[in-house]
Amino acid sequence: MLKEQTGKVYLVGAGPGDCNLMTVRSRELLSSAEVLIYDALIDIPQLELIPVTCRKIEVGKRGGKPSTQQQEINRLLVENCKLGKQVVRLKSGDPFIFGRSSSEIQALKEANCDFEVVPGISSALVAPLLAGIPLTDPVMSRCFAVMSAHEPDALEWSALVQIETLVILMGGRNLNEIIWQLQKHGRSPATPIAIIRDCSRPQQQIWLGTLADILYKTAGESLSPCVIIIGEVVRLREYLMQPQKTNSIDKSATHKNSQQPLAGNTILVTRAASQSAEFSRSLEQLGARAIEMPALEIGAPSSWEPLDDAIAQLSSFQWLILTSHNAVDWFFQRLEAHQKDARSLSGIKIAVVGKKTAESLRSRSVTANYIPPNFVADSLVENFPDILQNCKILFPRVESGGRELLVQEFTARGSHIIEVPAYQSRCPENIDPIALAALQNRAVDIITFASSKTVQNFCHLIEKAPELSQSKDWLENICIASIGPETSKSCQNLLGKLDVEAKEYTLDGLTRAIVEWATK
């Protein structure tokens, strides 16, 4: 008799927003979740550990926005647990700090559902720390209080003004009332205040002032979600923060090691979503905050027929040219679809462009016969190690927007080059919302481009954001970094500027060039 599958619900704290600040236990649970029930404050696009098969249910909980009723959330937890699922109830910050976990736990206990509570770091602690504001100090603050200002009338303000440091959550929409109550009950108008919105995230913003002027400084701004710190300890930020480059909005708070060469820099990565993770990790290891804004979507060509015909007559070709990691992947996938493998390439020489393409080929137990010295496709012909007259060459490539010059030069030398579409790269329909927010808030320091097509698609996506496309100066303080000459030309033509070009036309070369620029 088969044992009945047992479900379990994990009430997990997601931390303040940056998935790098999640606990190890939380990340492990996300990687195996079958059902994810999450608050709107969770940055789901950043949580790459979530399996693609996981069912995701957003339940709101963002101030001022529609939210699922708590009774319905309780029902969803119980229902999915009873179905034998591993359910992660992901909450912003810590589940037991304004997380309404009691109601959910009570519902799970009444239904005899197994559950576990997994702690997270509350933004009440993280936001001041990342902003360089200590909540305690031997002289200025011997204690602090954390409160929600979602319902300011419910707070005992006469008692709160006696506490040296106040940390207020969910207070952005009620800032007027908070300021009025504090001054009404005796707090000095000169009392320092800091407001930190989207703490730990790329679009983090900080406003500094006093009770007397903070309303003026934040007029017209959307402050939620934010953490408000009130007290003399706010003044310590000036002495505790490392001096770093900032744009017009104060974003100098960073939890990265300031000795790392890219610390304090937010870098936008425009590679395809399926290819950006490794590059982003390498930047983060150097201290950067990487935001992925996919400017390419890689998929199958509109028709496999040309490539299938070429595979059917592989033995008639002398050379196979692969100019990218994508070309390798999709060509070999199609080989496998025809029950073929690397042995089908016996007797065919292979030319590749770039170290990464060569590595991708080696991962399939195949070694390239030729790699041009400067890793540029257009130099293939110039240094080609074989007689090109009457040479038959197979060139699986992107369906549109590829290198026409390469084909023209081989043809001019007397080669018979057969181009076949092996994959297609398209522009995504919409700009990633996290990347858009970072650009709108002037929170990006560097934008990286690894191909001309990413530049073209990036510009197309920006056209869909009027607040950027209609602004004349949004690129003014941003470094544009290119992987090589062809990409650089596109940057100059379409963006009107270029600040960094890799000396070696690889992602490693691009990383080194960015580090050199950042450490000047």
Over the stretch 173-198, which tens digit does the pLDDT of each residue have? 999 999 999 999 999 999 999 999 98
Residue 248: the pLDDT is 32
**Residues in Cβ contact with 460 at an 8 Å cutoff, skipping those fewer than 6 apart:** 427
Q: What is the pLDDT of residues 60-89, one digit of tens each?
A: 765 555 678 999 999 999 999 999 999 999
* 42 token code pair: 């969770």
Find the radius of gyration of the CA atoms of the chain. Answer: 28
- Report how far apart the first and last C-alpha atoms of the chain are (Å, whole number): 69
Q: What digits encode the pLDDT tens for the residues 334-388?
A: 999 999 888 888 889 998 887 778 888 888 888 988 888 765 555 677 778 888 8
Concatenated DSSP letters of 312-348: HTGGG-SEEEE-SHHHHHHHHHHHHHTT--GGGGTT-
Is 232's pLDDT higher than 50? yes
C-alpha 351/C-alpha 406 separation (Å) is 13
Which range is least confidently modeled, 33-42, 61-70, 283-292, 499-508? 61-70
- Per the annotation, the verdict on 61 as an active-site residue is yes
Burial class (CB in 10 A: 0-12, 13-18, 19+), 430: exposed
CA dihedral sign, ordered 243, 254, 483, 447: negative
Catalytic residue among 18, 39, 432, 445: 39
- Mean pLDDT, rounded, of the chain: 86
pLDDT band at 495 (very low <50, low <70, confident <90, very high): very high
Task: Please report the pLDDT score of residue 255 as a whole number.
Answer: 38
pLDDT surpasses 50 at 253: no
What is the arithmetic mean of pLDDT over 296-319? Answer: 91
| 18, 43, 61, 453: the active-site residue | 61
Residue 383: per-residue pLDDT: 73
For residue 257, pLDDT over 50 is answered with no
Phi-psi region of 60 (alpha: psi -120 to 50; beta: other; left: phi over 0): left
What is the DSSP annotation of 136-199? Answer: -BTTTBS-EEEEE-SSGGGS-HHHHTTSSEEEEES-GGGHHHHHHHHHHTT--TT-EEEEEEST
pLDDT at 388: 82
Q: Which of 320, 321, 324 is nearest to 298 (CA)?
A: 324
Catalytic residue among 22, 147, 170, 293, which?
Answer: 170
Highest mean pLDDT among 71-85, 269-283, 284-298: 71-85
Span of 109-123, 301-315, 391-405 with lowest mean pLDDT: 391-405
Question: 272 pLDDT band (50/70/90 cuts)?
Answer: confident
Q: Is the pTM of this model over 0.75?
A: no
Q: How far is CA 430 from CA 44, 148, 297, 421, 468, in A?
A: 16, 35, 11, 25, 14
For the segment 261-286, the average pLDDT, to the nearest whole number, is 84
pLDDT in tens, 37-47: 988 766 554 45
**pLDDT at 437 > cutoff 80:** no
pLDDT of residue 259: 54
Structure tokens at 489: 């030309």
